[in-house]
Amino acid sequence: MIEPHIVIVAFPSAQILDVTGPLEVFSTASRMLPEPRYRTEVVSAHGGPVLSTSGLEFGSTPIADVRGEIDTLVVSGGRDMDAAIADEHLVHHVRLLGERARRITSVCSGAFLLAATGLLDGRRATTHWAECAMLARDFPRVAVETDAIYVRDGNLWTSAGVTAGIDLALALVSEDRGRRAAAAVARQLVVYLRRSGGQRQFSAALAAQSEEHEPVREVLEWLTANLAADLSIPALAMRANLSERQFSRVFKAAVGVTPAEQVEALRIDAACGLLETTSRTTEQIAAACGFGVPETMHRAFRRRLRTTPGQHRQHFGSG
């Protein structure tokens, strides 16, 4: 039985988790699941040791030496992406590998390297939330999606920042071997098979942690523990001791979304957690998360996640 050949492309100052995250998923799948096992290979422009952003060095083989059929190409991201894109030898061989591969994927800023090859032209893609605007600006032929952990467009898969490479690799295993097999790998690695929500929620939460405007930071910290409270703009502005107009302006500048969007994102995230881990009814969950009634929660799920609470529980619940 032919072993699927996974080729992971790295370069100096690569993000170590962009490489080792997918690598560990495929390695764990090979140990746990019946054959065929995945055959993994880490390559760089000229081979040899690669120094990652964390200072950890790992080995690689020359990208030009890759032989045989390629099942999946994984392009990692990293700090010195400008230098990687300027490396004509690397870009040329990534393009050649992409043309040979059954599947083409990237992790985090690896989407920039893929875009430089032209392989993303006319395709939907994503990258780290902080770099989506830059990707859209530098490569206008790419349809950039800003609120996704990973995006699939045919045989092309791109993922968001750093740990999203694990989400991506699990999705690839699920496509190859079925959801139950991928879930077994996820359990072994002690990670979710699929995270709920999109990266906009994560970027907003990260922004909240670093917010220097004290009243807004206090409101953000209070929100999560009080989702069933009155979270209207007047109520939140009063808590921040700001006018409604000033609060809305300062909040969006800090978090990147409006107060209403942040509240809905937090409520959906909390509802997803309860749907996945408890047997509470949708009525109970809607009330606990501040939606009030199931119909409001249902509309929010449809709008944000393109699914329903019931479907989410069916797909991601603990059973």
Active-site amino acid positions: 108
Count the residues in the chain.
319
Residue in the block written with tokens 């993303």 = 120
Please give the helix or strand (H or E) that residue 124 lies within, else none. Answer: strand 124-125
Cα–Cα distance for residue pair 194/20, rounded to 1 Å: 18
Cis peptide before 49 (omega within 30 of 0): no
Cα–Cα distance for residue pair 120/53, rounded to 1 Å: 26
Cα–Cα distance for residue pair 44/28, rounded to 1 Å: 23
Q: In the chain, at which residue ranges do the beta strands (DSSP E only) sit?
A: 5-9, 39-44, 50-51, 57-58, 61-62, 70-75, 101-106, 124-125, 143-144, 150-153, 156-159
